[in-house]
Structure 1
Amino acid sequence: MQLRGQAKHLVLGLALLALPLTLFGCGKTTSATSSSSSAGYSPKQLTVEFVPSQNAGTLEAKAKPLEGLLKKQLGIPVKVSVSTDYNTIVEAMGSKKVDVGFLPPDAYVLAHKQYKDKVLLQAQRYGLKEPNDQTTKQLVNYYRSEILVRKDSGIKNLKDLKGKKIAVQDTTSTSGWIFPAVEMLEHGVNINKDHIKTVQVKGHDQGALSVYNKNTDAAFVFQGARAIVKKDAKDIYQKLTPIYTTGKIPNDTITVRGDMNAKWQQKVANAFKAIAKTKKGHAIISSVYSHEGYVDSKDSNFDIIRQYDKKAAELNK
């Protein structure tokens, strides 16, 4: 009887000993579930916004057909629109009004810093050669900015820009402000101090046209901007020429709001990559931003932008 009683206590003790382990195991399972790919924001309707690299009305008309293509890929309604400028789209994503932004590199860096927004993809384009932006057969994940002037202006180099009027984009625009302004400073010309007047225009097409129409002496534009206005200004390659081309700039991003869950991040990335490979989808992204396709990206690809941002702060010293 005594042995039977001892055995009883032994079994009870082992059961109690196992209980914490069982509970710990359950707790661990619960924790793993809560951190799964489904945690976070899941859109019921996807809002996608572009920045105006060209006339906003024209751009929106070109981009609207993406709504149907994305809806087919994702299975939810999609709304596509164009923001008024770079800062507006960053703030819209930060306030959760926009889910996906086609952000140029500097706007992405700002969005990541302020709101932890996440880069998914980087655009690919065909490389360009000067002087007339001839297209190469090589797909690249970078582009360049150039400073355009009229061939008959007498402006031959960066120092000739002192005292002139330059068409620029928003101050967060990588190719429309930061890269050319920083590299001018490295060559001894301060855009804020050397009697240069800047005129902000909306869209690189408007920058090129302002020089073409003699409203400004020069323009900061992405390399290839003349091609998007060639239809309206057939002799633009004969009239305008670049006097300076910057170093490599990481290509545009497809960025999502920071709280979007991993499952939806992957779905969005896959959708854009798939659309870019279709005839209709490729035609849209090519006409909107001259994109040829998309590749996976990561935040460290944009450290060069952060370096230039620090240098840009020296413009006001």
Structure 2
Amino acid sequence: MRVIFEKTNKFLALMMVVGFISLLAACGDDANASEGDNGDGWPDKISYGVLPGEEDTEISRAHDLFAEDMSEELGIEVELFQGEDYNAVIEAMRSKKLDMASFGPFSYIIAQERSNAVPIAVRAKSEEDATYNSWIVVPDESDAETVEDLKDKTILFADPASTSGHLFPRGMFIDELGITNDEIESYFSSVSFSGSHDNSILAIAAGDADAAGVCSTCVERAIEGGMVSESDFRIIKESDPIPSSPITYRGDLPESLVEAIKEFVYNYDNETYFEKAGDSESRYIPVDESDYDIIRNTAKNLDMSPEDLLSN
């Protein structure tokens, strides 16, 4: 009997140790879960990326306001990230350092391929108004009247991944001049990238470049913000309508978080934000990836992959 009793005590002690270890493991799992999410798979913080070139304008302050309002609505921190260039924002989402981002139409196409970006909405007054244009602009005192007059002149593009600051201007030059994409560099005396639409606009206003490809809404904002005057430049070519820049999310986010983000974006009505963003009458309108087929087709017509365009 004594032997049986001793064996029973040893067995009970062993079971208590195993139970204690299991309890510690369970507590550890709970602790890790509380550090990484809120119980629904949500992270404690999400990062929202925006493209470069708007740091000195009202729209920069609008980004801050949008992030603050989203944070309050979702109940988690929303951190704003300003990329040094378009590719930095794309790569940050690819490496999962960004959960959401505002892209230009073409940079969205690249982000979809590389970073699993999914479009949510565009900012516009209506579905019919959800487009903008690419402009080829020259200094007001320039003697250039058409793109043909730019031969052996200097041309500025905004960024390799910019839709209206690179992709569409290239397409316009090819169509208008009857040259191939490979011949663009030799047509001009200099082809370079300014880093942003704002930089290109300022360079044209200062007479530091002969021409630039820029987005119509960027120029309008620059004029409204007092950066440049309408008399500083002239438009010599305008593109066909381009679908507006989408807000996107990374495709592997928890479904419940995505639905909460969509609910916030589609119902967002902060008048101060929309006024700072450029139009107090605009709102966020849902979009689908198929809305950007024109961008895919334009890139295909240039016979350049995203890698080709980004390597310029």
Give the alignment's TM-score, normalised by structure 2: 0.76
Q: Flag the 1:55–1:225 CA change in 2: closer, same or farther, 3 A.
A: same
Letter in 2 for 1:113: E
Letter in 2 for 1:268: I
Inter-partner Cα distance in structure 1 for 2:227 and 2:115: 41
Q: Flag the 1:163–1:71 CA change in 2: closer, same or farther, 3 A.
A: same
Letter in 1 for 2:169: P
Query: Which stretch shows the higher mean deviation, 182-191 or 101-110?
Result: 182-191
1:312 to 289, 295, 302: 302
Inter-partner Cα distance in structure 2 for 1:42 and 1:291: 33
Q: Which residue of 2 aligns with 1:286?
A: 278
Q: Which residue of 2 aligns with 1:175?
A: 164
Q: Flag the 1:239–1:115 CA change in 2: closer, same or farther, 3 A.
A: closer
Q: Which residue of 2 aligns with 1:273?
A: 266
Inter-partner Cα distance in structure 1 for 2:80 and 2:135: 29
Q: Flag the 1:233–1:285 CA change in 2: closer, same or farther, 3 A.
A: closer
Q: What SS is found at the alignment partner of 1:313? A: coil
Q: What SS is found at the alignment partner of 1:216? A: coil
Inter-partner Cα distance in structure 2 for 1:119 and 1:300: 10
Letter in 2 for 1:202: G
Q: Does 1:143 align with 2:132?
A: yes
Could you give the per-residue CA deviations for residues 243-297 of structure 1, whole angstroms, max 9, x where no partner exists?
Answer: 000011110001111201322222112212322x12233234338xx99221111
Report the Cα offset of residue 82 of structure 1: 1.0
Inter-partner Cα distance in structure 1 for 2:128 and 2:222: 23
Q: Which residue of 1 aligns with 2:205?
A: 212
Inter-partner Cα distance in structure 2 for 1:282 and 1:250: 19
2:222 to 216, 220, 229: 229
Inter-partner Cα distance in structure 2 for 1:215 and 1:291: 35
Q: Flag the 1:246–1:57 CA change in 2: closer, same or farther, 3 A.
A: closer
Report the Cα offset of residue 45 of structure 1: 0.8
Q: Which residue of 2 aligns with 1:110?
A: 110
Contact map agreement 2:154 2:188 (CA 8 A) in 1: no
> After superposition, where does 1:19-168 map in structure 2 within 5 Å?
42-55=42-55, 60-124=60-124, 140-168=129-157
Q: Which residue of 2 aligns with 1:8?
A: none
Inter-partner Cα distance in structure 2 for 1:221 and 1:151: 15
Contact map agreement 2:61 2:276 (CA 8 A) in 1: no
Q: What SS is found at the alignment partner of 2:187? A: coil
Report the Cα offset of residue 314 of structure 1: 6.0
Letter in 1 for 2:292: F
Contact map agreement 1:65 1:284 (CA 8 A) in 2: no
Q: Does 1:299 align with 2:289?
A: yes
Q: Which residue of 1 aligns with 2:188?
A: 195
Could you give the per-residue CA deviations for residues 28-65 of structure 1, whole angstroms, max 9, x where no partner exists?
Answer: xxxxxxxxxxxx96332111110024346875444222
Q: What SS is found at the alignment partner of 1:64? A: helix
Letter in 2 for 1:173: S
Letter in 2 for 1:206: N
Could you give the per-residue CA deviations for residues 180-215 of structure 1, whole angstroms, max 9, x where no partner exists?
Answer: 111210112542231341231132122111011110
The runs of 5 or more residues in structure 2 that have no matched partner are: 1-39
Inter-partner Cα distance in structure 2 for 1:121 and 1:62: 16
Q: Which residue of 2 aligns with 1:240?
A: 233
Inter-partner Cα distance in structure 2 for 1:65 and 1:286: 14
Inter-partner Cα distance in structure 1 for 2:208 and 2:201: 10
Contact map agreement 1:55 1:203 (CA 8 A) in 2: no
Inter-partner Cα distance in structure 2 for 1:209 and 1:117: 31
Q: What SS is found at the alignment partner of 2:52? A: coil
- Residues paired across the two proteins, number: 262
Contact map agreement 2:130 2:244 (CA 8 A) in 1: yes
Q: Flag the 1:296–1:224 CA change in 2: closer, same or farther, 3 A.
A: closer
Q: Flag the 1:103–1:166 CA change in 2: closer, same or farther, 3 A.
A: same
Query: Which stretch shows the higher mean deviation, 205-214 or 53-62?
Result: 53-62
Contact map agreement 2:204 2:212 (CA 8 A) in 1: yes
Using the aligned pairs only, state the percent identity.
Answer: 23
Could you give the per-residue CA deviations for residues 79-129 of structure 1, whole angstroms, max 9, x where no partner exists?
Answer: 112111111111111111000000111111111112322111122158xxx
